[in-house]
């Protein structure tokens, strides 16, 4: 039952976190491949917050899992 | 794709072997090259792990092993990517290529690199009075917050260029401060002993009462509206 819940419900935050991290990484890649004012601004104001949000969502997911397992 | 100056020099060396800039002994690339290479490697590694994890998540759901694997692209690699992104991006933003990447700046860049031009900027460029980061060096205040102020001004330039909120011909936002010239020239004996800079006039130059540009200008050509389009 727990495994089913994990598969059906829990990964939403994780998937969102993964998607945001992938987007942030792609924007960062644009900077590394072509460094210019626009790619630097995109890196600073989009990629960086996206990567930060991804870490935060992952942390929330981990906390939820720990609470569910009664480890916290 | 923009390349660091030393990479350009090495490429030029291939084209003209006699004019090759010899790399220093044991040369393994610049810090920029390494920041860029490591940044690309970490981004690709993060993307590869995310792609593999996404597939495993769809097939087998969330397993303890997958959770551990995701720590790498979601927690460990992002700080490294951000670090190398800033390291490389901020350094590259000082290049003349970065300043000249906006269409409106191209006439200024063309004049800077024109060996026949006698503007102050072109004279500094062709004689290599400034080794690199030519625009940045002359348009940044010295000191702790000079770089920060320059970056904030740069952000404003990007915003203005995106929104089109600027008028042509471009004008410098504030009077050009002598301190930027004097930071290099003040201690130069050529400057101190020059007949053009008599001792009694030096206080006026150092206080900013007299502008260096008044006698040594124009720093850049007067660019017409048509040339900037």
Tens of pLDDT, residue by residue over B134-179, are: 898 898 887 778 888 888 888 888 888 888 888 888 888 788 899 9
Q: Which of A29-33, B21-25, B67-71 has the lowest mean pLDDT?
A: B21-25
Task: Say whether pLDDT at B213 is over 50.
Answer: yes
* Chain B contact probe: residue of A20, A21, A43 with most B CBs at under 10 A: A21
Cβ-Cβ contacts under 8 Å, A62 against chain B: 67
- Cα separation, B182 vs B191, in Å, equals 9
Q: Which of B36, B50, B62 comes nearest A32 by C-beta?
A: B36
Q: Quick one: pLDDT at residue B8? A: 62
- Cα separation, B226 vs B223, in Å, equals 8
B2/chain A closest Cα distance in angstroms: 6
Token couple for B81: 């990517």
Distances (CA, A) of B218 to A3, A47, B85, B111, B222: 73, 40, 36, 12, 8
Task: Say whether pLDDT at B124 is over 90.
Answer: yes
The 3-state DSSP class for residue B107 equals: helix
Higher per-residue confidence, A36 vs B11: A36
Higher per-residue confidence, B119 vs A72: B119
Query: Is A35's CB within 8 Å of B75's CB?
Result: no
Task: Say whether pLDDT at B44 is over 90.
Answer: yes
Cβ-Cβ contacts under 8 Å, B102 against chain A: 37
φ/ψ of residue B141, rounded to 5: -75, 150
Higher per-residue confidence, B145 vs B77: B77
Query: Is A55's CB within 8 Å of B73's CB?
Result: no
Residue pLDDT, tens place only, A10-23: 578 899 999 999 99
Q: Quick one: pLDDT at residue A1? A: 47
Task: Say whether pLDDT at B78 is over 90.
Answer: yes
Q: Quick one: pLDDT at residue B228? A: 55
Residue pLDDT, tens place only, B87-123: 999 999 889 988 888 888 888 899 999 999 989 999 9
Distances (CA, A) of B171 to B3, B6, B31, B105, B221: 30, 33, 35, 12, 11
Query: Is A51's CB within 8 Å of B61's CB?
Result: no
Token couple for A70: 């009664």
Chain B positions with Cβ closer than 8 Å to A: 1-2, 36, 39-40, 43-44, 46-47, 50-51, 53-54, 57, 61-62, 67, 70, 73-75, 78, 81-82, 84-85, 88-90, 92-93, 97-98, 101-102, 154-155, 157-158, 161
Residue pLDDT, tens place only, B127-136: 889 888 889 8
Residue of B nearest to A38 (CA): B158
């Amino acid at each position: 039952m727990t495994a089913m819940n994990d598969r059906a419900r829990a990964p939403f935050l994780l998937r969102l976190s993964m998607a945001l991290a992938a987007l942030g990484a792609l924007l960062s890649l644009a900077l590394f491949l072509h460094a210019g004012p626009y790619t630097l601004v995109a890196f600073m104001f989009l990629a960086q917050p996206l990567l930060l949000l991804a870490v935060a969502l992952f942390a929330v997911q981990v906390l939820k899992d720990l609470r569910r397992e009664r480890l916290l | 794709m923009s390349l660091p100056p030393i990479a350009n020099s090495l490429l030029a060396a291939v084209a003209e072997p006699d004019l090759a800039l010899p790399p220093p002994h044991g040369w393994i690339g610049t810090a920029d090259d390494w920041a860029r290479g490591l940044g690309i490697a970490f981004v690709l590694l993060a993307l590869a792990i995310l792609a593999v994890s996404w597939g495993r998540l769809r097939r087998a759901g969330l397993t303890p092993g997958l959770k551990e694997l995701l720590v790498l692209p979601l927690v460990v690699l992002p700080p490294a990517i951000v670090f190398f992104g800033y390291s490389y991006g901020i350094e590259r933003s000082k290049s003349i290529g970065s300043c000249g990447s906006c269409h409106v700046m191209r006439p200024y860049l063309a004049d800077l690199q024109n060996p026949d031009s006698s503007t102050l900027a072109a004279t500094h460029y062709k004689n290599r009075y400034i080794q690199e980061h030519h625009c940045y060096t002359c348009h940044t205040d010295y000191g702790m917050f000079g770089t920060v102020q320059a970056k904030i001004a740069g952000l404003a330039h990007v915003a203005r260029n995106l929104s089109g909120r600027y008028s042509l011909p471009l004008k410098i936002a504030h009077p050009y401060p002598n301190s930027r010239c004097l930071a290099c020239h003040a201690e130069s004996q050529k400057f101190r002993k020059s007949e053009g800079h008599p001792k009694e006039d030096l206080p006026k130059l150092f206080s900013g009462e007299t502008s260096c540009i008044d006698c040594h200008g124009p720093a850049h050509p007067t660019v017409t509206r048509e040339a900037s389009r």
